Amino acid sequence: MKHLLTLIIGLLLFSPTAHAGWFSSDPDPLAQAQEKIVVLENTLSTQTTTMNRWQIATGSLAIGCIMLLIIGAALGAKTRQHHHESTRRLGRTSPSPSPTGLNGRKSAFVDEASDEHTHSTLAA
């Protein structure tokens, strides 16, 4: 009888139905979920710091490009102004109403007959 009782108790203890959920050999699902959450939080925080650094870098680059655009536009305007002033010092570049208007020389392209047909708006 002792052997039979030991055999029944042994079979009950080692059978899978006798194991309760808290005695299972598998890892705890709650602990696994907590570990996954910690890993995901660490990954998210590193991604956030990396994205903040990229945002600062791209913002600085954008501000630098805008500054260069403003400086280039100002230099271009100043250059055009100086070029325009230098051409005005030489005299008129468009033909004058008189054929001898080009630095005292007579033009080969403008003769006296064509002056009568030149409009005042085109001569300027």
- Whether 13 is in a domain gets the answer no
pTM for this entry: 0.40
- Whether 72 is in a domain gets the answer yes
- Whether 77 is in a domain gets the answer yes
Contact 76, 68 (CB under 8 A): no
Give the residue, 113 or 63, on which the prediction is more confident: 63
Q: Where are the beta strands (DSSP E) in the chain?
A: none
- Whether 80 is in a domain gets the answer yes
Choice among 55-59, 62-66, 107-111 with the minimum mean pLDDT = 107-111
The domain total for the chain is: 1
Instruction: Quote the pLDDT of residue 89.
Output: 56
| Distance in angstroms (rounded) separating the CA atoms of residues 48 and 42 | 10
Residues 6+ apart with CB under 8 A from 124: 94
Residue 74: give the domain boundaries.
Answer: 63-88
What DSSP element (H or E) covers 102?
none
- Whether 24 is in a domain gets the answer no
pLDDT, tens digit (0-9, with 9 covering 90-100), for 13-36: 666 665 555 555 677 889 899 999
Choice among 54-58, 86-90, 100-104 with the minimum mean pLDDT = 100-104
Contact 32, 39 (CB under 8 A): no
Sign of CA dihedral 25, 30, 32, 35: negative
- Whether 7 is in a domain gets the answer no
Instruction: Quote the pLDDT of residue 16.
Output: 60
- Whether 55 is in a domain gets the answer no
